Structure 1
Amino acid sequence: MTHPPTPGQTVGPFFHYALPFDGGAELVPSGHPDRIRLHGTVFDGAGDPVPDALIEIWQTDGAGHVSQEPGSLRRDGFTFTGFGRVQTDRTGHYSFATVAPGPIVSEAAPFFAICVFARGLLDRLFTRAYLPDSARALAADVLLTSVPEDRRSTLISIAEDGGYRFDIRLQGDGETVFLDHGGR
C-alpha cells in the first residue's frame, strides 16, 4: 500500500494557498514607459501544461541596478523592487508586467532569475531567462557558455512584440536547464 506524499515530501500543490500576493505579477504599474511582458507556459515531462506551478522572478532594473528597496511584497506603484511572484493559470501560463533587465556590468548578458515551485518537486528549481538581444553578450556569458551548446537555447527567451516569452519544461525533450543552488 502506498500513501500520498505529505507536505514535507513535496513543495506543492499546497503553496498556492499562502504564497501568491496582490500585485505579484505587476513589477511596474500600468502606463510605465518601459513596461514589457515576460510570459510563458510551464510544461511537465509529458508536454502537458502545469496548472498549479508558482513562478518567481528576480531581476535588475533597466539600468542594471539590483534593487535594495525593502518591501517586495508591498507594491506602492512607484518603487521597483525587482521581485515578482505569480501562479500559473489552468493552462499552465504565467505572465509578469515588468521592465527589461539591464546588464549588471557593461557588456554582460541581461537575464531574469527564475524560481519554479510545482507539485511533485522535492525542492524549488532555479533557472535563468536570458534576453536574446545581444549575441555577443550571450557568447561571453560565463554561466551560459558552461552549458552544453545544444541545451543553451533552453535558457534564452524569445523576443515578441511588447516583451519576451520563456517557456519552462520540467522534464523530457527540450527540458529547461536548471541550476544547482547548493542549498540542499
Structure 2
Amino acid sequence: TGLCAFETIKPGRVPFNDGRLMAPHITLWIVARGINLGLHTRLYFSDEEKANAEDPILARVEHRLRVPTLIAERQGDMYVFDVHLQGEKETVFFDS
C-alpha cells in the first residue's frame, strides 16, 4: 500500500552548525526498488510554526510554495506526512 507508520518521541530543537536553532524535525532517507539513490528529506511538525519560521534549512528552500511538502499535519494524537516522489505535490528532497 505504500503506507509506513512508526512511533517515536517528538524531537526538540537542536543547533545548526552556525549556532541557530533548527525546528524540531525527523530526517528521513527513503530507499525503494527503482530508486537508484536514497532520497533525503525532513519531516517538520505543523504545530511548530514559530520554530519552522526560524529554521535555517527550511529557509533555504528556494520555491517557498514547496515548503508545505515538508510539514507533517497533526491529526489527533498523531502526525500525517505524505511523501510524493513526483508530480505537483512532490516532496522536497535534499542533495545530502
RMSD after superposition: 1.4
Task: Give the whole-Å Cα distance in 2 for the aligned partners of 1:177 and 1:171.
Answer: 10
| Larger gyration radius, structure 1 or structure 2 | 1
How does the TM-score come out when normalised to structure 2?
A: 0.87
Which of the residues 72, 86, 90 maps onto 1:171?
A: 86
1:103 lines up with 2:13 in the alignment: yes
1:159 lines up with 2:74 in the alignment: yes
Amino acid at match of 1:93: L
- Cross-structure match for 1:146: 60
The correspondence of residues 8-27 of structure 1 with structure 2, limited to 5 A, is none
| Higher RCO, 1 vs 2 (CA within 8 Å, ≥6 residues apart) | 1
| 5+ long unaligned stretches in structure 1 | 1-90
Q: Which 4+ stretches in 1 moved above 4 angstroms? A: none
Task: Give the whole-Å Cα distance in 1 for the aligned partners of 2:12 and 2:3.
Answer: 25
How does the TM-score come out when normalised to structure 1?
A: 0.47
Which of the residues 40, 48, 51 maps onto 1:126?
A: 40
The correspondence of residues 27-106 of structure 1 with structure 2, limited to 5 A, is 91-105=1-15
For these two proteins, the number of residue pairs brought into alignment is 91
Amino acid at match of 1:98: T
| 5+ long unaligned stretches in structure 2 | none
